[in-house]
Amino acid sequence: MILILLGPPGAGKGTQAERIVRTRGIPQLSTGDMLRAAIASGSSLGKKVQAIMDRGDLVSDDIIEDIVSARIKEPDCKRGFILDGAVRTVGQAKMIDRVLKKHKRELDVVIEIEVDEEELVNRLRKRIADAKAAGRPVRADDNEETFRKRQAVYREQTAPLIPYYRKQGKLRKVDGMGSVEEVASEIDAILDEFAAA
């Protein structure tokens, strides 16, 4: 099964993707995690993207094409994978369609996690406070100003994917305002339909 998790930063895509990895045994492809790993390793890619990510802007579609198309060729992606935050522009969506077609594979479903922006800011404040209290590092782009910038980038550049996938008949929505378990059970119901198909 190949699925895309769509939703603004902080909507819970990563948390839900991790659960799907455990329950369905397919890997999570998070371009954000891959780019953070590149920064941590000090690679030339990392150096190229660090300032862009710290500002809350999107890195170029070409960079995403390189890292996603290399990753999906790996053997653990054979049974399927979850694209978590990995498709952020219509250009990237077209690229994914192209890459999948080349490998004779097809996207099954796009799940949009719908949330309220103010609620996301509240959740961010809590995440920062919890991380600080536990002595954990806070992500460089996890501050309120950059977070709001990332929301604006989502509205302008990523939200157009919603009509794009609706037109393809692939879009399903879940209410992201509930608890992690509630959202997970809505997602499970959708995934069960595809697993049974």
Mark whether 98 is an active-site residue: no
Residue nearest to ligand AMP (CB): 32
Q: How far is the CB of 197 from ligand AMP (least distance, A)?
A: 27
Q: Which of 19, 36, 150, 172 is catalytic?
A: 150
- When the beta carbons of 104 and 136 are compared against ligand AMP, the nearer one is 136
Q: Which of 16, 28, 31, 151 lies at the binding interface for ligand AMP (CB under 6 A)?
A: 31
**How would DSSP label each residue in 98-118?**
HHHHHTT----EEEEEE--HH
The answer to whether residue 35 forms part of the interface with ligand AMP (CB under 6 A) is yes
Cα-based torsion angle of the residue sequence 147, 152, 158, 164 in order, rounded to the nearest 10 degrees: 150
Q: Tokens 């990753």, residue? A: 71
- What does residue 145 show for φ and ψ, rounded to 5 degrees? -65, -50
- What does residue 180 show for φ and ψ, rounded to 5 degrees? -55, -40
- When the beta carbons of 64 and 174 are compared against ligand AMP, the nearer one is 64
Cβ 82 vs Cβ 25: under 8 Å: no
The gap between the terminal CA atoms of the chain, to the nearest Å, is: 10
Q: Which of 7, 32, 80, 176 lies at the binding interface for ligand AMP (CB under 6 A)?
A: 32
Could you give the CA distance from residue 146 to residue 74 in angstroms, rounded to a whole number? 33
Q: How far is the CB of 193 from ligand AMP (least distance, A)?
A: 26
Q: Which of 3, 82, 88, 95 lies at the binding interface for ligand AMP (CB under 6 A)?
A: 88
* Interface residues toward ligand AMP, by CB under 6 A: 9, 31-32, 35, 52-53, 56-59, 64, 85-86, 88, 92, 141, 150
